[in-house]
Chain A
Amino acid sequence: MLPKLHLQTLLTTVMLLAPQVDVSEEDSPKAPTDLKCATHDMLTFICSWSAGPETNLKTSYKICYKPTHCESVERNVSGKINLPLIEAAQIHITAVNTLGSATATFQVTKKDITFIPPVPQNVKVVPDFSSQTLSLKWTGGISALVIPTTIEFEIQVLWTEKMEVIHTESYAAQLDSQNKTFQWSWISSMPLKCTSHSVRIRSISTDILMSSKNSSSDWSKLQTIPGADDSESVMFPKDKVVSVGTNMTFCCVAGRGHRIKTINYGDEQLPCNEVGNRNKAITKYNLPPSVSSGTNVICKLDPVGVAGTVVFVGYPPDDQQLECETRDLQNIDCHWSPGRQTMLLGKHKTFYTLRERFTFSCPKANDDADPNGDKYKCSFPVINGHQMYEFLLKAKNPLGEVETSYTLNLYTRVYPYRPSKVVVCYIGSRETELSLSWGVSYKNMTNLCQFEIITNNKEKELRNFTLPGQEANALSNVTVKQLYPDTSYSVRTRCASAEHFWKWSSWSNSKTWKTKEEAPSKALDVWREIKRTEHGQNVFVKWKPLPHSDAKGTIVKYEITWKAMNEVGEQSAFAPVSTNSTELHLNFSDYIISVRAINLAGSSPTSQIRILGLLEEQVDEPSIISGTPSGFNLSWSPGTNETCGYIVDWCLFPDTPDCNLQWQKVPPKTTHTVITSDSFRPGVRYSISVYGCSQHKEYLLEKMAGYTQELAPRRAVKVKAEANSSHTVTLWWGDIPVQDRRGFIKGYRVYYVPQVNYSARSQKSVGIKEVIDITDPDVRNVKVTNLHSATYEFTVRAYTAGGEGIGEPININLVDSSLGLILAILIPLATTCFCGILLGICYAKRNCVKETFYPDIPKPEIHGEQWSVGEGRSCNPTFDVKPFMPDKVCVIESVPGKDAEDSDICKVEMDKCDSEQIDDSCSDTSSKPMLPSYHPQIVDSYKASSDSSSGSIDSCATQVTYSDIQPPSSGSVNNLEVISDSGYKPQMRTHVPLLDVNHTPNPQHLDLPEQSEGYLPQVKVNNWSLYSPEVDEATACIGSPTSVNSTQFLLPDQASEEGPSSRSSSWKFSSLMSSEQKR
């Protein structure tokens, strides 16, 4: 801001005024016009003016811009005036020639003066072809500028051949009185050798105060950097090393006589940019890592030829992970990892420099590369008394440099060698002393050593010991305790610094030894098996071998000692280690038998058992127990005298002579145990004995038997059979041997099935199989009854919880007796004869039968008094009987034997009519005289009774039914003819019981034929009353003629709904019924 203010105060304002011209005569000079002024340095103004028309005379100009300062210039077009910095000035320019003069006066202000910055001077371009950089230097071109001013340099870079501007950049600066040098650089994306590059620069005034008349200078002269000559074909850049992912431009310059065809980056052909006539370039973006020999960029030429270059694309060095440690406190080993591969090899590979800060450097940091390629290392000697070290690793390649430091305290980074010697010094039964030594000295360090102890090649245990530092090859002793006698041990060790744990060493070699033996610590587990004979008792003394933990050595033999209770002396014998039992032949005295195991270090405590010679063990029936596939859960009643526990024994293989007696001792007060064994097999019966122990005497307490899993019997039941009669057979069978039962027998199943012969070829057909289940397993016979005369096959199968066993079939042939056969023929024959005789009698007495069961229907006799009708009842249509004129008869049969409950029966029988007849008879119900449509129906007695209307109890109770007057064979045509003649249709019912008088049927629920229309009473007149009371609809018997028990089907239940006509008829009948009832 300050310079501007300063400038503002100093700048001269030039007012350009209209000239005041003095013209003396015709060839006299003209006054100058059109004055223009400019300045390059704010000190000197260059003004020019127009001279006017030329004259034949030489004209000179006299310029006066100060009252006291005038200059003469020869030239007639412009002049140079040195003006002081004023706000405004008057300039007088006088044109003078021999004929006269003419003066013009100009008023010049600062706005009228243009500031033209100078052309930059001393322009110099320096190329750096490797970095593709152009460096430009220049000066402002003004040796002394009175007023500092802001200026901008515009720099242009051109491809010279095409004069194409490829880069333009502005460079802001301030010009002042000191003509300082400016500097600018530019990195080209394309190698500078590809083509000639030129640079030019000019100045542009940017000062605000000068902005009114700002302008730029001329361009400086072109500064050209020539490209490669065209004597041969070449590519640029050459052997460039760049980072992965950068963009890069390659160019090809074709030599004379060649033309560029293609340019390939590796295998990829890229589009070319025209740089010059024989120059082309490609740009590859995001460069991938190159192969070890670099990536070729090849320019193919025409005619045949190639130019090429190689580019190496890789990574700068990676983090190095430097780590240093000492193994012997004499040298420090440093190693590092090269990290990510740089993909650069040969002269571009990474070079490492490792040095300790104050002392030394590693001369072979690059030569000691690990052959594996992933670890690099270097070793330094330790300086006496020096514990702290600081290492610095530098990794450098053409793409970058990485430094890693590592500070080391010598005793905190000790990675010791493994012990060079491990020696077993002393071997005891429970401890062993070992000695360790190293080939190097660790005297100033406490070692923490870890021992891996492997017991009998199985169990692994780690124990840590702290050992003081020792000189090289000096022994350090370690006592390993808590070992087991007679046990093989293998040990190896590794060590580290105890104070500053850094790393475990590798494992030492293994050392193996066996601890010494001790006397067995536990007494043997002893049991016995006694077999009494006539002469004494054979006692099988058995014991279980001691486990290794209790044997504490190798058992060499067993010592058995026995002594009769009533004798003083004792006897003894030895059993080899290979046996676990011995047999003693004793008399019936009581004995004490002792057994102990002996190894090289001594003998075990003595185990004793007592044999009571005269004690007979009570053999009770064993209780049945159930097992599981793995064994048995046992429980028993506590013994009364039990003081020292219980013993449970059983045979593991009961089927074999040596049953492999097993036993288990149960502590006192415990009355349950579980016995398990992998040798338990399903279907094997195990006998288990429980002994109580009282005062060291064992007595049999309980016996048990059971199966771990029951199976079906393995053997068939042997059956014998005997036919008691032609319908009865008795079967006997025997027991299945215990070993074949494979379970507890729960019962037997007797299967029998008749065998039928169908042909001469004796092809049998099996009838229905029947079974008798006998759930009592003790039953051994069964009597099978209700058999027929046939051959029967009987099979008896036993079954257990595991299933049913197999059976052996046995066949029995049952034959009928002759008496039975004769009776079977005669009885049906006699029955037939009796029926024939009965029918003959009935035929002979048919008139009597007819009179009895089928009397003629009497004609009604009407008596006046009795037939009188009550008031309001002028007539009784019921008795207004008109002769029917039936023109057709529909024969509808009932089906004897059919279930009366079948409600469709009517419809079924209707189907038997000719369709024409049915139509005539059933559809013409409205015509008069009307044939009452009457269909015989079979009504279930229960239904009939239950469906009767309550209002017709009395009428319904009238006991005239056709069941009494019609024979069962009511379907005959003769009967139908009778009905037809009298206009009456009988209601055939078979075996219809009499209605219960106390029962009130409900006629509304009756199944009635739809076409039932009316009815003509078929009872004797004297059974009827003419009295017809008022009808109580609620209580009226809607049924029709009760005498014939036809209420149900003569009056449809919808009669009351269909209309008055139908209802009127029912009214008539119901009135009658009511009157009858009242009477």
Chain B
Amino acid sequence: MTPLALFLCASASLLVPVASQDIFSNRESFSQCLALARKIHSDVYALLSKYKEEHIGSKSFEDYSLVMTSLPTINLHYSTWLSMEDSERLLINLKDLHVFWIHVDAKRIYELESMPQSSLAQNMEDVLLDMRDLLFQMKHQLEFLETPAPETLSQSVPDALLNPQNEWLSKLQGYIILRDLERYLGKVVRDFTLLRTKYQK
């Protein structure tokens, strides 16, 4: 699915930079990325459930009081969200998803160290590949919107993530990361839905 998604995104975004076709191209790109975001959202949801079952001991575990300050905030006022420019919307998503990508990747590495044959690590890698494709696509969409994408995104990994105080905290970190990513991807899906709708007109 990942190569297919990549192909779809790339084919929709990299083809014909002719002005008359920009709108059509962007619309298609938003549609494909909406589909990809939905897929990632679905995968992360399943991954979160599996993670909770394997590491926390219960699929139904929830604790919204736990937060990681290094993760992007999800709360956004509706009117603010509604009034955002397209490029701004894409840019925020790009930055935030990149932060999530770093966190998930750090967690994947930690998981592999603990268990070389971990299926969770493999699932995380699949999600990361899809997220990379989505980020790649969003960068191109920003270019179409004539908004320069940041040259380099932050690569710093929080120290607490690399060296958790104890194993339980590490497990909770993974839970928080996936939980917040799943919620954030909900927002991303809504953003792409809005963008696709907007460009369909």
Contacts and interface: CB of A to CB of B under 8 A. Distances in A.
Contact of B115 (A235, A239, A346): A346
A819 interface: no
B85 interface: no
Contacts of A294: 167
Contacts of B167: 238-239, 294, 309-310, 312
A264 interface: yes
Interface in B149-168: 165-168
- Pick the most buried of A296, A298, A312: most chain B CB atoms within 10 A of its CB: A296
A266 B168 contact: no
Contact of A306 (B61, B115, B165): B61
Interface in B104-156: 113-116, 118
Contacts of A2: none
Given A267-B57, A345-B115, A346-B115, A310 B63 contact: no
Contacts of B172: 308
B166 A264 contact: no
Contact of A309 (B65, B113, B168): B168
B171 A310 contact: yes
A309 B55 CA distance: 11
Given A304-B63, A305-B65, A310-B166, A296 B171 contact: yes
Contacts of B54: 293
B115 A308 contact: no
Interface residues of B, number: 18
B168 A238 contact: yes
Contacts of B61: 306
Contacts of A264: 57
Contact of A293 (B55, B65, B116, B165): B55
B59 to A, nearest CB: 12
Contacts of B56: 296, 298, 308
B115 A296 contact: no
A345 B63 contact: no
Contact of A345 (B55, B114, B166, B171): B114
A346 B116 CA distance: 8
Contact of A292 (B57, B115, B166, B168): B115
Interface string A637-648: 000000000000
B166 to A, nearest CB: 4
B57 A239 contact: no
Given A296-B171, A305-B65, A238 B166 contact: yes
Contacts of B171: 293, 296, 308, 310
A306 B63 contact: yes
Nearest to B120: A293
Contacts of B65: 304-305
A800 B118 CA distance: 85
A347 interface: yes
Contacts of A310: 166-168, 171
Nearest to B57: A296
Nearest to B113: A346
The interface centre, meaning the residue of B57, B113, B118 with most chain A CB atoms within 10 A of its CB, is: B57
Q: Interface size class for chain A?
A: 20 to 34
Interface in A274-304: 292-294, 296, 298, 304
Interface in A248-269: 264, 266-267
Contacts of A347: 113-114
B57 A346 contact: no
A192 to B, nearest CB: 16
Interface string A229-243: 000000100110000
A374 to B, nearest CB: 14
Nearest to B65: A305
A1018 B98 CA distance: 157
B75 to A, nearest CB: 19
Contacts of A298: 56-57
Contacts of A304: 63, 65
Contacts of B168: 235, 238-239, 296, 308-310
Contacts of A296: 55-57, 168, 171
Contacts of A306: 61, 63
Contact of A266 (B57, B115, B165, B166): B57
Contacts of B118: 292
Nearest to A346: B114
A308 B173 CA distance: 13
A294 B114 CA distance: 10
Contacts of A267: 57
Interface in A932-985: none
Nearest to A307: B168
A296 B115 CA distance: 16
Interface string B152-196: 000000000000011110011000000000000000000000000
Contacts of A305: 63, 65
Contacts of A312: 167
Interface in B31-57: 54-57
Nearest to B63: A306
Contacts of B115: 292-293, 345-346
Contacts of A292: 114-115, 118
A304 B64 CA distance: 9
B137 to A, nearest CB: 34
A312 B167 CA distance: 10
Nearest to B64: A304
A235 B114 CA distance: 22
B21 to A, nearest CB: 51
A752 to B, nearest CB: 95
Contacts of B165: 238
Q: Which of A238, A264, A298, A308 has the most CB of B within 10 A?
A: A308
Nearest to B166: A238
Interface in A96-136: none
B49 to A, nearest CB: 16
A267 B57 CA distance: 7
Interface in A296-350: 296, 298, 304-306, 308-310, 312, 345-347
B84 to A, nearest CB: 33
Interface in A335-394: 345-347
Nearest to B54: A293
A292 to B, nearest CB: 5
Contacts of A346: 113-115
Please indicate which of the listed interface residues B61, B167, B171 has the most CB atoms of chain A within 10 Å of its own CB.
Answer: B167
Interface centre among B65, B118, B166 (most CB of A within 10 A): B166
A129 B57 CA distance: 27
A293 B114 contact: yes
Nearest to A237: B166
B113 A239 contact: no
A293 B65 CA distance: 24
A283 to B, nearest CB: 19
Nearest to B112: A346
Interface string B6-45: 0000000000000000000000000000000000000000
Interface string A703-739: 0000000000000000000000000000000000000
B143 to A, nearest CB: 42
A238 B55 CA distance: 15
B176 to A, nearest CB: 13
Interface string B70-81: 000000000000
17 contacts: A235-B168, A238-B167, A238-B168, A239-B167, A267-B57, A292-B114, A292-B115, A293-B114, A304-B63, A306-B61, A306-B63, A308-B56, A308-B168, A309-B167, A310-B171, A345-B114, A346-B113
Interface of B: 54-57, 61, 63, 65, 113-116, 118, 165-168, 171-172
Interface of A: 235, 238-239, 264, 266-267, 292-294, 296, 298, 304-306, 308-310, 312, 345-347
Given A293-B55, A293-B114, 18 more contacts: A293-B54, A293-B115, A293-B171, A296-B55, A296-B56, A296-B171, A298-B57, A306-B61, A306-B63, A308-B172, A309-B167, A309-B168, A310-B168, A310-B171, A345-B114, A345-B115, A346-B115, A347-B114
Enumerate the 4 nearest inter-chain pairs by beta-carbon distance, A residue then B residue, closest first: A346-B114, A310-B167, A238-B166, A308-B168
